[in-house]
Amino acid sequence: MIDAPVNGQTRLSELGQPASPAIRKGVKPIVITGGSGFIGSNLADSFLADGEDVIILDNLSRAGVQENLDWLVKRHGKKVHPYVADIRNLPVIKPAFNEAKAVFHLAAQTAVTTSLADPVEDFSINANGTLNVLEAIRTTGNRIPIIFASTNKVYGQLQDVKVSAIGEEYRPQNETIRAHGISEDRPLDFHTPYGCSKGAADQYVLDYARSYGLPACVLRMSCIYGARQFGTEDQGWVAHFLLQLLRGEPITIYGDGKQVRDILEVNDAVGAYKRTLGSIDTLSGCAFNLGGGPQNAVSLNLLLAELENLTGLQADISYGDWRDGDQLYFVADTSRLQQLIGWAPETSWKDGIRGLADWLSENRSGFVSHDTGRATG
């Protein structure tokens, strides 16, 4: 069973302050902050399968992450090095980075709604926490690469991107955007406290490359989905929709459901992260979009229809008001990243959600519902 959500500070108090990770002499581990989360655990599993030692730096505050950590330890044993700590506590996290080969910074507060309810907490995790990670790396005196998980929300609401409603989806009127998506040339425009905190972190990572020569790269992600995702109303909407269908529980969509997103299967995302590390000297100081691209673009309504067809279940859907900062259309133009690292999505969105449905069907007995059945794109 998945552990119920626990307060991160309570969990840290129970476990005490972590000592320096017990890594064999001469071994340089991969450090993944948020390594027990959805993307982090999949990325860790891939590196561990390659024979790497991995430090999982996580405060274990979110539902499902303890199960992900247990899964990693069961699969890979002593090559997994759990380090239960909060990125807001710089003195405590610093030992985790001393001998690092590379750092993937995925730990974050991930929900726009949570940022609106508590912007100070959101800033302390996403902005100040990222600064702590950067300082922990910088003060080692080593040129340790860092790859940061940013978000497409740094581009704002995209209100100037004119769209037309065609059937059950919005399509850009601009032919270039319709064909390729939103590129990195798009000006930054932070909306909502979440957009501001992640955007600030995004820029800090890039500036540490400029100011300190740190090998650092930013990946601005679209919607990632796949196995080990515990979707909720605020984050992980593809898995959330599937879970609600399998539970027979209602779904509320904010807006009209015609908003379009490009979705990317997690194994494709992991491949991009690993290839980015392999080309870090070329990519350092740059930000790139990471998503499924136009070939994996789908509206919420059309994805739900496909899920109904796939599962043979009828969704109980209602529609609520639009949320702050929601984009009618976001599809990432990933052509720059593809050209530089030789990467492209391999899993079509229909095949990907079929795989996720199979995984959730096999594992849903362990899921505990901690949300009210609502989601947004």
User: Which residue segments constitute the domains of the chain, with CATH numbers given?
Assistant: 108-375 (3.40.50.720)
Share of the chain above pLDDT 70, in %: 90
Per-residue pLDDT, 20: 62
Average pLDDT over residues 212-237: 89
Distance between CA 361 and CA 359 in Å, rounded? Answer: 5
Predicted confidence at residue 233, as pLDDT, reads 62
Higher pLDDT pick, 368 / 70: 70
- What CA–CA distances, in Å, run from 363 to 19, 49, 356, 358, 359? 34, 22, 10, 9, 6
Cα separation of 200 and 348, whole Å? Answer: 32
The predicted pLDDT at position 362 comes to 84
Rounding to the nearest 10 degrees, give the CA dihedral for residues 115, 117, 123, 129: -80
For 6-15, 22-31, 102-111, 234-243, which range has the lowest pLDDT when averaged over its residues?
A: 6-15
344 pLDDT band, cuts 50/70/90, is: very high
> Is this model's pTM higher than 0.85 or not?
yes
Is residue 194 among the annotated active site residues? yes
How high is the pLDDT of residue 63? 81
264-298: pLDDT as tens digits: 999 999 999 999 999 999 999 999 999 999 999 99
Burial readout 15-40 (b: 16 or more C-beta within 10 A, e: otherwise): eeebeebebeeeeebbbbbbbbbbbb
Please provide the average confidence, as pLDDT, over all residues in the chain: 90
> Rounded mean pLDDT of 317-333?
92
Residue 86 pLDDT exceeds 90: yes
Choice among 56-65, 86-95, 142-151, 336-345 with the minimum mean pLDDT: 56-65
Of residues 83, 155, 170, 194, which has the active-site annotation? 194
Residue 200 is encoded by which pair of tokens? 């600030």
Four-residue CA torsion sign, 73, 76, 80, 86: negative
The pLDDT assigned to 115 comes to: 94
- Mean pLDDT over 18-34 rounds to 82
The angle at the Cα of 262, spanning 192 to 50, to the nearest 5 degrees, equals 100
For residue 369, what pLDDT is reported?
Answer: 39
Helix, strand, or coil (residue 108): coil
The answer, yes or no, to whether residue 370 has pLDDT greater than 60, is no
Q: Given a cut of 80, is residue 9 above it in pLDDT?
A: no
Residue 234 pLDDT: 66
User: What integer pLDDT is reported at residue 324 of this predicted model?
Assistant: 79
Q: Bin 235: left if φ > 0, else alpha if -120 < ψ < 50, else beta.
A: beta
Residue of higher predicted confidence among 64 and 14? 64
**The dihedral sign for the CA sequence 167, 184, 233, 42:** positive
Residue 364 has pLDDT above 70, yes or no: no
pLDDT, position 365: 52
Average pLDDT over every residue of 165-182:
97
pLDDT band at 18 (very low <50, low <70, confident <90, very high): low
Band (pLDDT 50/70/90 cuts) for residue 316 is very high
User: Which tops the pLDDT comparison, 199 or 360?
Assistant: 199
pLDDT surpasses 70 at 13: no
